[in-house]
């Protein structure tokens, strides 16, 4: 079950959906990895993009969101689910995508390892770059931090060019600023050159 949440920062209703127990179960459990749970002393607000175009796409998103709560990232709210046209690699089924706001004490790289662990345990295999996948979880923003390493780049370097990322993210974080461009997510959405189809998915 999900319920409409009130954005206490602005005092207005948003399209952020609180996650209830029914939405979160069943879920794969992430096996314990001590290295992935090195805590940052300050809790961070993070924004994630989830996508699936293989199998039961909606269930894949639900299971991944549930797994986050068992893996060191506390889900705060979830956007609507969108059906989105493939980009770059076009010869594949349409995706379901959503955005998640979460809080974590994991360091950024440890969070990345945790998300990769969830993908692997769910059976996702990235056989083709930007190709079909059972589940894909990307870190878009990690607090206000800017990280540029061979393994991890934050903010996600392509987020401003992806309508399937920005539409859901603008629901849960319309006024959050991109730490490099300092534009809000809503502004990034209006400016993106990506014209691919993104529509709210039918169903509950």
What's the CA gap between 90 and 77, in Å, rounded? 30
What's the CA gap between 87 and 116, in Å, rounded? 22
Q: Which residue has the higher pLDDT, 156 or 26?
A: 156
Q: What per-residue confidence (pLDDT) applies to 69?
A: 85
Over the Cα atoms of the chain, what is R_g?
16
Bridge partners of 13, per DSSP, are 6
Enumerate the domain spans of the chain. Answer: 2-28+40-200
Q: What per-residue confidence (pLDDT) applies to 62?
A: 96
The CATH number of the structural domain formed by 2-28+40-200 is: 3.30.70.560
Q: Crossing angle, helix 57-69 and helix 108-121, to 10 degrees? A: 140
Q: Cis before residue 155, ω within 30 degrees of 0?
A: yes
| DSSP code string of the chain | -EEEEEETTTTEEEEEEEEPHHHH-S-PPPPP-GGGG-EEEEEEEEEEEEEE-SSSHHHHHHHHHHHHHTTTEEEEEE---EEE---SS-SSPPEEEEEEEEEEEE-HHHHHHHHHHHHHHTT----STT---S-EEEEEEETT--EE-SS-EES-TTGGG-HHHHHHHHHH-TTPBPTTT--BHHHHHHH------EEEPS--
Taking only the tens place, the pLDDT of each residue in 105-155 is: 999 999 999 999 999 999 988 766 777 889 999 999 999 999 999 999 999
Taking only the tens place, the pLDDT of each residue in 56-78 is: 999 999 999 999 988 889 999 99
Of the listed ranges 6-20, 26-40, 87-101, the one predicted with least confidence: 26-40
Of the listed ranges 13-22, 99-108, 189-198, the one predicted with least confidence: 13-22
């Amino acid at each position: 079950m999900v319920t409409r949440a009130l954005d206490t920062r602005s005092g207005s209703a948003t399209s952020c959906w609180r996650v209830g127990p029914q939405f979160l179960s069943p879920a794969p459990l992430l096996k314990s990895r001590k290295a992935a749970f090195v805590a940052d002393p300050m809790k961070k607000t993070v924004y994630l993009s989830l996508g699936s175009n293989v199998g039961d796409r909606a269930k894949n998103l639900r299971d991944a969101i549930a797994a986050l709560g068992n893996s060191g990232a506390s889900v705060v709210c979830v956007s609507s689910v969108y059906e989105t046209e493939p980009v770059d690699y076009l010869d594949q089924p349409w995706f379901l995508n959503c955005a998640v706001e979460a809080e974590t004490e994991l360091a950024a790289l440890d969070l990345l390892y945790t998300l990769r662990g969830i993908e692997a345990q769910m059976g996702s295999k990235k056989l083709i770059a930007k190709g079909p996948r059972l589940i894909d979880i990307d870190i878009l923003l990690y607090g206000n931090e800017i990280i540029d390493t061979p393994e991890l780049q934050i903010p996600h370097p392509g987020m401003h060019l992806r309508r399937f990322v920005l539409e859901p993210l603008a629901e849960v974080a319309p006024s959050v600023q991109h730490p490099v461009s300092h534009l809000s997510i809503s502004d990034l959405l209006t400016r993106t050159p990506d014209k691919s189809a993104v529509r709210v998915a039918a169903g509950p």
